[in-house]
Amino acid sequence: MSFLSLFIGFFSPKCQYPTHTIISETHEEPHRSRSNRVEGICRVLSGTHDLAAEFLDIAVDKFPTKSHNRANSQEMTIDFDDENWNVVYCGSDLDSDDSDDPTVFPGFGKGPMDPCACGSEHRPQKVSRRLRKKRKAREPIVPRPSSTRWNVAALPTEILSMIFALAVAESPFVNGGSEEARATESVIALVCARWRSIAIDTPELWTTFRFGDKNEDEWHCWELVSLRFETYLKRAGNRPVDLWIDVSTQTTAEFFLKRFRKHLPRWRRVSMRLPDESTKSYAPALTALTDAGAGNLQSFELLIMQHDELEFFAEPVEGFLHAVPELKHVRMDSKTFKMCMPPLSSITTLHLEAWRFSQPRMTRKTLLSIITSPTLKNLTLQGKKIFNNWRATGRITTNIERLFCEEESVASWMWATFDAPNLKTVILHNFSGIVSPRTNDEGDYFPKLTSITFIDCVITPSCLETIGKAAKHVMDLTVIQDNTLRSMSLVDMTPTLSPLEVLAISSDHGIWPRLKMIECDIKPWRTNIGDACARLLRERSECHLRLHMNASVLNWRKKSQETWKDMQEGGRLIVASPREADFEINAFPPLVKFSWDTIWE
């Protein structure tokens, strides 16, 4: 029985699958506990986020909420006041029916024109204690199930709780912090008193706290924001929590740092994007993070968008996050990493960024400690100058499996120095430098490297030949370019071209003879690139070309119909739709896939 067919049955006027029938399907083992039976039910249902969200949409449409016709009953005149959990204003009331004392709310008990307890000049909405008590005692708004009404109320509490957890909006750690379409926990709480009670008693709904403040025209009452934060922690029970903030002022940043620090042992995934302020001002708060362990911390992201290019940075924080045995993913800007470098003993994913050439750079010693870390598998270097210029000598052994590199010195010297037996994927971004050849090219130092991606790169034939000799087993080549600019090599004034053009020109040299797939998304598309693609397909009989269409490709196809037909011969041309944003190429942390274990851990 599928998840969708089950709920179609529940929503039908004559329910085909009453509750007792569903439960009986799990009685294969009489000794199984009730919790195991419920989990078994949900696994049988094969529920997903999309289906659960669709179920909630239907339920919210069918169930009366505050928009219900109030003429039907005086008991329906309820003003739900917590519709927006993303940002809590003083003009709204944070509803806490789970025994939170309403007297602690700022502005409670004051007149409608009295100032807020937070000291601001705006006026809070008056809170009615009588309305709160009345709501607690009220029967569910939704009528009890009958043969002629929507019968979703017949679902057991445990199954509803699991559906709510599946339907919750995506975590910012899954979608990269993009705005969520709705606050799912509030939508659930608006349906009826029963659903509200179930939601409050479902810790999975409250384990992710997010806050963003990028609109300077909106004023926020930090007393209520603090209360909202504490409410989430309380409703999450003893579970580890995810904390995500993106703020615009140093005052706001210090506000959250102070409160987050108190709950350090519960940190699981933390992302803090702090504003354009002095790095020194955060040093005391960051130093305090060395005083207690974070045994549950798995992912840590700290970005300080500093604008003062000439500032002297604070002294390094010793022992930063010293007790983090589970820490796997770290993302920092280069100056923050230099100030408070976390231990590398357990990190598998490291993402470093540098936005300005004038930022102080890290030393060769730091680079070597990163590259040679035995646990590091995924390294991203986003920025042209992260490390001091260095001329590598000797061989550097690394266990890295995936490298995204925009750093000039690393992209130039890695082919001559790296011994990377596990490296599978290399992504080069904005690279136009010189590739240093290996003095002894007889060895196989990249035996598993089968995929290379060039993003907005230009290169000379000699450089591509050097890369081809070092990485001999490439089978997948991706070229992504937007508004490609031609330039000249600073060494021998050789024209730099798109890697696709260079590969076509150098095909006689035997670069990557095992190439199976070429994927390209190039804007604007030029005639010489089309000719290069046709030549590659003609000379490499086992190679396929995946071409992402855009307006310039369509125009070229109309003008070069013979070349297009030549490319289509043999059925090795794959026409693909335009690429969307390359979020997955450089996602941090690596995209979290759905798993029952992650929800019910």
Question: Would you state the pLDDT for residue 545?
Answer: 92
Question: Would you state the pLDDT for residue 271?
Answer: 87
Instruction: Kindly calculate the radius of gyration of the chain based on its CA atoms and give it in whole angstroms.
Output: 29
User: What tens digit of pLDDT does each residue of 267-288 get?
Assistant: 888 888 887 665 566 766 676 6
Q: Over 80: is that where the pLDDT of 402 sits?
A: yes
pLDDT-derived band of residue 428, with 50, 70 and 90 as boundaries?
A: very high
User: What tens digit of pLDDT does each residue of 89-99 get?
Assistant: 333 334 444 44
Q: SS3 for 124?
A: coil
Question: Would you state the pLDDT for residue 303?
Answer: 84
Distance CA 167, CA 104 (A): 32
Pure H helices in 310-430? 334-339, 364-371, 408-417
Q: Hey, how many other C-beta atoms are within 10 angstroms of the C-beta on 187?
A: 23
The closest of 7, 51, 60 to 188, measured between CA atoms, is 60
Handedness of CA 117, 122, 123, 124 (dihedral sign): negative
Q: What is the mean pLDDT of the chain?
A: 69
Please give the biggest Cα pair distance in the chain: 87
Q: Over 80: is that where the pLDDT of 376 sits?
A: yes
Q: Over 80: is that where the pLDDT of 599 sits?
A: no
Question: Would you state the pLDDT for residue 6?
Answer: 42
Question: Would you state the pLDDT for residue 9?
Answer: 43
Place of tokens 């907005």: 456
User: What tens digit of pLDDT does each residue of 492-533 get?
Assistant: 445 668 888 888 887 666 789 899 999 999 888 888 888 888
pLDDT-derived band of residue 401, with 50, 70 and 90 as boundaries?
A: very high
Q: Over 50: is that where the pLDDT of 378 sits?
A: yes
Among 40-44, 237-241, 400-404, 540-544, the minimum mean pLDDT is found in: 40-44
The closest of 467, 472, 466, 465 to 443, measured between CA atoms, is 472
Q: How many CA atoms lie within 13 A of 601 on its CB side?
A: 11
Q: Which residue has the higher pLDDT, 140 or 233?
A: 233
Distance CA 174, CA 180 (A): 11
Question: Would you state the pLDDT for residue 394?
Answer: 77
Instruction: Measure CA 367 to chain center.
Output: 26
Q: Over 50: is that where the pLDDT of 491 sits?
A: no
Question: Would you state the pLDDT for residue 495?
Answer: 60
The stretch 429-443 carries a mean pLDDT of 79
The stretch 328-348 carries a mean pLDDT of 85
User: Which amino acid is located at 21 in the chain?
Assistant: T
Question: Would you state the pLDDT for residue 220?
Answer: 57
Task: Identify the CATH assignment for 391-601 out of 1.10.3470, 1.20.1260, 3.80.10, 3.40.50.
Answer: 3.80.10
Among 57-61, 103-107, 186-190, 299-303, the minimum mean pLDDT is found in: 103-107
The stretch 247-252 carries a mean pLDDT of 78
User: What tens digit of pLDDT does each residue of 447-458 get?
Assistant: 999 999 999 888
Question: Would you state the pLDDT for residue 21?
Answer: 30
Question: Would you state the pLDDT for residue 257?
Answer: 82
Paired sense of beta strands 241-247 and 544-548, if any: unpaired
Question: Would you state the pLDDT for residue 360?
Answer: 56
Distance CA 27, CA 400 (A): 48
The stretch 174-178 carries a mean pLDDT of 58
> Domain map of the chain by residue range?
3-84+96-171, 391-601
Q: Over 50: is that where the pLDDT of 147 sits?
A: no
Among 180-189, 398-407, 478-487, 564-573, the minimum mean pLDDT is found in: 180-189
Question: Would you state the pLDDT for residue 333?
Answer: 84
Q: What percent of the chain has pLDDT over 90?
A: 14
Q: SS3 for 427?
A: strand
Place of tokens 């679902």: 155
Question: Would you state the pLDDT for residue 375?
Answer: 94
Question: Would you state the pLDDT for residue 479?
Answer: 92
The token pair at 47 is 């529920």
Q: Which residue has the higher pLDDT, 31 or 567?
A: 567
